[in-house]
A = this chain, B = another copy of it.
Amino acid sequence: MSRLDAAPPGPAEPVLWVDGREVDPRGPHLSALDRGFTLADGLFETMRVYDGVVFRLDRHLARLAHGARRLDLTLPTGLEAQLAAALSAAVARGRADASLRITVSRGVGAPGLAPPTGGAGAAGAAVTLVIAVHPLPRFAPSLYSSGLSAILASGRRNERAMTAGLKTLAYVDAIAALAEAQAAGADEALFLDTEGHLSEATASNLFAVLDGVLLTPPLSCAALPGITRAAVLELAEEHGIEHGEHVLNPGDLHAASEAFLTSSVREVVPLVRIGARPIGDGDRGPVTRSVIDAYAALVRGECARLAAR
């Protein structure tokens, strides 16, 4: 369980665990025949670590387990113990505030799409597990106050894909949409599904306030079942903010008084412009501010409770 190399990781480098042991972040770590690399045959979760505590780890692991069942991917034994060990090492190396990504792939495979056959332990059938803990400061005040701009991506999300709703490694469409947004001078891209309904951003869920009601697209519009999305819906319920899942059209963003994006890493970030057109008055609004504050309090409360155990 010791590093391959004596040098500690640089300040921006991750603490990196591959298949159960800490490794030199410079690598190499993986086979070029790993199906995660050759075919995106795997899943991941990205979580936030606050003061050494992973926020809603149980929800992330449940989503990962669900995806693994759907893809018939056997999760590594001792995943939680490996995660705990990696987290301890990361905290010891000054990464108590961090992003933590777990990546699981189906491991090394022969050419073609068919997975390696044979039971656990069969040659070539071992999954690959990567845990990467990158330092990440708590909260990002400037992002929260100024907000983001977005365009509508030219390509569509597919709500009827084989892996719709699963957090697979296949993010190249999101990368292309983000590049399109940045080329247009925007921060983010929003996807429509194949029916023309709003889906989500490249790696965040979308919320909009319409007639005072906080709405987010249903999962049937190819929105990922975000852990932060679920937390925001819970908070709205608790705080008496009228809310719900609702099919949204692009025109609804013009009518919206506020909008924001949610993800584990970004938390809750105001979305204040679509193209050149402001959403509401182009500033973060009262509902967004309430949700940002409530989310910060939720994080503080849950993490303090877990840290005290």
Contact = CB atoms under 8 A, between A and B. Distances in A.
Interface residues of A, number: 71
Contacts of A112: 203, 265
A249 B130 CA distance: 43
B40 A172 contact: yes
Interface string A161-188: 1111000111111111111101000000
A114 B178 contact: yes
B173 A161 contact: yes
A176 to B, nearest CB: 4
Interface string A19-34: 0000101111111111
Contact of A30 (B31, B101, B169): B31
A134 B182 CA distance: 40
A132 interface: yes
A171 B164 CA distance: 13
Copies in the complex: 2
A164 B170 contact: no
A37 B39 contact: no
A161 B169 contact: no
Interface stretch (A103-111, A143-151, A226-234, A288-296): A103-111
Contacts of A134: 110-111
A115 interface: yes
18 contacts: A23-B32, A28-B29, A30-B32, A30-B37, A33-B132, A34-B37, A37-B103, A37-B169, A39-B172, A40-B169, A71-B176, A111-B265, A113-B171, A156-B161, A156-B194, A158-B161, A162-B176, A168-B172
